[in-house]
Amino acid sequence: MMEYKRITVNPISGAMGAEITDIDLTSGIDSETWIEIQDAWANYLVLIFRGQDLTDQQQFDFTQRFGKLIPHPYVKGIPEIPEIFKIIREPGESYSWDGFYHSDLMFLKKPPLGATLYAKECPPYGADTAFTNMYLAYETLSEGMKALLDGLEGENESGNPEKYSNKYQSMEELGKKGAMGAVHPLVRVHPVTGKKALFSSLAFTKRIKGMTDKESAPILSYLYEHSIQAHLGCRLEWEKGSLALWDNRVCLHHAVADYFGEVAKHRRVMQRATIEGEEPISIKKYEAMQAK
């Protein structure tokens, strides 16, 4: 981890996450600052930039520096920039759109590399987003469980596409598409760090390839409960003008559904931009790549 001179980095928890201050994302980011942002992201996995006043185009431009942006397969983006879509909860709505811990769009052949989420409107407190570190989730498994998982693949499914938009009054469905699915290793290797991470969530991982649903369930349930332990994660408190950036390859996240009392009286408007990823690399494939 480098010494940061261009940005101020304040860790959120012992496991992951950091608040970034003393930077204005609306202005040009020079190469030295960009190197520090990338280093902080690699080390903390989740960054939240406070006090930003971004236009839609500025969110797009900042996010695109990390890679090509892709639209959501089931929800319409904003008219001018379809790669950005809004997640809106109107006052009185209590449904949490992503209540399960998950990695975004695990049912794609190339799940996203990461994403940014920008707070346009939010309650004065509550409605946080929780994250968990899947490097640590893997590292804290027993050697026996690691050996069991080596080589196993999960079958990931989107389920009913209507669940992505029909629960919120203000989200518009992107036509009528069928369900999607993809098979990925339960343990993936990060292409940059070379570190191993669990890649499984009950939100999308429905079974282990070669096993029945019933046979898979105890293993997948254990991995999920193990992964979401509080000491492996962090929690982001939102303020208007905060922009979060996370590595979707090695994090699970979910919206905390504490929409009661004063919190439920307020509108919450978030904008997400999603970065295109690559096919997850298995341990076997990574070792073969290293041997060349």
pTM: 0.94
**Region 136-160 average pLDDT:** 96
How many angstroms from the chain centroid is the CA of residue 157?
A: 17
Per-residue pLDDT tens digits for 105-116: 999 999 999 999
The chain-wide mean pLDDT, for the chain, equals 93
Q: Residue type at 93? A: E
Q: So where are the chain's domains?
A: 8-291
The more confidently predicted of residues 28 and 290 is 290
* Superfamily per CATH, domain 8-291: Clavaminate synthase-like (3.60.130.10)
CB contact at 8 A, 187 and 203: no
Residues forming the active site: 102, 104, 253, 272
Distance CA 224, CA 220 (A): 6
| Whether residue 173 has pLDDT greater than 70 | no
| Whether residue 138 has pLDDT greater than 70 | yes
| pLDDT score recorded for residue 123 | 94
**Region 221-246 average pLDDT:** 98
How many angstroms from the chain centroid is the CA of residue 190?
A: 15
Please spell the DSSP secondary structure of 252-276, one letter per residue. Answer: EEEE-----TTGGGS-EEEEEEEE-
Of 47-61, 85-99, 131-145, 273-287, the range with the lowest mean pLDDT is: 85-99
**Region 54-81 average pLDDT:** 95
Classify each residue of 254-274 as buried b or exposed e, where b means 16 or more C-beta atoms within 10 Å of its C-beta.
bbbbebeeebbebebbbbbbb
Name the DSSP letter for residue 37: H
